[in-house]
Homo-oligomer: A and B are copies of this chain.
Amino acid sequence: MDERRNPIQRLAHQLSRLPGIGEKTASRLAFHIIKMPEAYVRDLAQALLDVKTQVRHCSRCCNLTAVDPCVLCSDTRRRNDLLCVVERPSDIVAIERGRDFRGRYHVLHGALSPLDGIGPNDLKIPELLRRLADDAVKEVIMATDPDVEGDATALYLARLIRPLGIKVTRLAHGIPVGSELEYVDHATIQKALDNRREL
Contact = CB atoms under 8 A, between A and B. Distances in A.
A155 interface: no
Contacts of A51: 7-8, 11, 30, 33-34, 41
A50 interface: yes
Interface string A40-60: 111111111111101100000
Give the oligomeric copy count: 2
A11 B66 CA distance: 13
> Dominant SS at the A interface?
helix
A170 interface: no
Q: Contact size class for A?
A: 35 or more
Contact of A72 (B1, B25, B64): B1
Contact of A7 (B1, B14, B40, B54): B54
A41 B52 contact: yes
Interface of A: 1-2, 5-8, 10-11, 14-15, 17-20, 25, 27-34, 38, 40-52, 54-55, 64-67, 71-72, 88-90, 93, 96
